[in-house]
Each structure stands twice: as structure tokens, then as C-alpha cells.
Amino acid sequence: MRQVLSLVVAAALVSLAAIGCGKTPEEKAAEDLKEATEKAADAMAQAGAAAAQAGAAAAAQAGAAAAQAGASAAQQGAAAGTEAAKGMEEFAKAMQGMATAMSSASAGGKAADPVSFRDLQTAFPAVNGWTMDKPKGERMTAPVAFSQTETRYRMGESQIDVKIVDSAFQQMLVAPWAMFLAAGYEKETDDGYEKSTMVAGQPGFEKWNDRRKSGELNLVVAKRFLVSLEGEKLNGMKQLQDFAGQVDFSKLAGLGK
């Protein structure tokens, strides 16, 4: 009886041991899943750390490159600014020198003193049928010496603006007219023409626009006085020429003596 009991006890202990040491498939799968999850989490953590390090390195490299590019651009900008300032300074000096030279240049090599614009106004003609506005004028002695006056004549819808300038022999004022004053100059377009001309013994050039019925006449008196006439709604260029012929050129020439 005791022997049987001992055998039963022994069998029970073996059974309990087997039960204690053995695992069901479900338990084994759960443990494997947990282990895989932990390994995946570790791998993700390591990958994140590596990415963070790579991003920091790239950002630092990009920042250094940007700083270097900014410094280079700043240097180039500073150099360009210096060159521009130098160029402007040289231009200003050149203009100042030109103005000084022009101020001292005249027909006799001496500085010319421009006449009063009020004296210039005495050359405006009183033209029959035309009403003249009150003349305006100004006189300047530096950096370029000159005086000028201008007025407008009206007759119905037609008008003629007349300007008289005392260049005081300043070539800066006369030079723009040089090409047009050349004998034989002529140009024709679909709308009209322009050419060198002579009015009352004074050399000049004229422009006519047939479509707009407008004209321009510019004359040089005594190599010094510039007389300009611009007309709108005219009958033709001859109307402007006849008007210009009534300007007192003799009086103008006398003012410069």
C-alpha cells in the first residue's frame, strides 16, 4: 500500500513538474511577439538617433555654406558700391570741369555775361491779328551762364510759342543744334519733314508735321542768341516763317555787343 502511495506521489510530482516547466503554444507566441516588439522599438530608437545626428550635421553644413555665401555677397556688394561711388564722383568732377570750361568760353575766349531777360523781351514782335501773353524770363550765371524769355501768341485756335535764349556763347547750349544747322541737312517722313533753312539771313532748321499741322523753327542770331518758335494748328510752315521774320533780330544782335 505504501509502495503504491509512493508511486502515486512520485507520479504527481513528476506531473506537477512537467506542468510547471511546460508552456502552451499561445504563451510561447505571446513571448515571441513581445520580444520582437521590444527589438523593433530598439531599432526605431537607434534609427531616430542616427537621423537626428545626420540632420544636425546637414543643418550645420548648410548654415556654414549660407554664412559663407552671405559673406561673399556682402563683399561683392561692398565692392560694387565702392566702384559706383567712385564712378559718380568722377562724373561729378567731369561735369564740374565742363561747366567751368563752358562758363569761361566765349567768342573772344573771355567769359560772357548774359544779358537781362527783360532786354531779350524787347525783341518780341507785335504781330497783327495775334494776341501775346505776358512774357516770362530768367537769368542764371552759374554753373552755366544764360538768360531766356518766352511767351505765347494766340489767334483763334492757332498758337505759337516763342522762346529767346542768350547762350552767352556757351557751347553746351548750342551744340545740340549743330547737326541740324549743317547746310544741306534734310529728313523726310510719312508725316512731314525737317531740314536746315535760312530766315531773314539767320541760319537755322525747321520741322513740319502735316498730320498735326504743327511746325517748329529754330534760328541762331549773331552766333549767340537762340530763337525758337513752335506752332500748333497752322496753315503751313510759311505762316511760322513769316511770323519769325518779324522778330527784331537786329536788336538781339546789338544786345550782345
Same domain, yes or no, for 179 and 72? Answer: no
Same domain, yes or no, for 25 and 122? Answer: no
Q: How much is the pLDDT for 177?
A: 84
Same domain, yes or no, for 195 and 246? Answer: yes
pTM over 0.75: no
Contact indicator for 205, 178 with CB cutoff of 8 Å? no
Ranges of residues in the chain with a pLDDT under 50 are 1-21, 84-85, 87-88, 90-109
Q: Is residue 101 part of a domain?
A: no
Range of the domain at 53: 2-82
Number of structural domains the chain divides into: 2
Q: Is residue 97 part of a domain?
A: no
pLDDT tens for residues 103-115?
444 344 455 899 9
DSSP secondary-structure letter at 10? H
Q: How much is the pLDDT for 92?
A: 43
Same domain, yes or no, for 125 and 168? Answer: yes
Q: How much is the pLDDT for 125?
A: 95
Same domain, yes or no, for 250 and 189? Answer: yes
In order, the DSSP letters of 56-84 are HHHHHHHHHHHHHHHHHHHHHHHHHHHHH
Q: How much is the pLDDT for 3?
A: 44
Same domain, yes or no, for 45 and 158? Answer: no
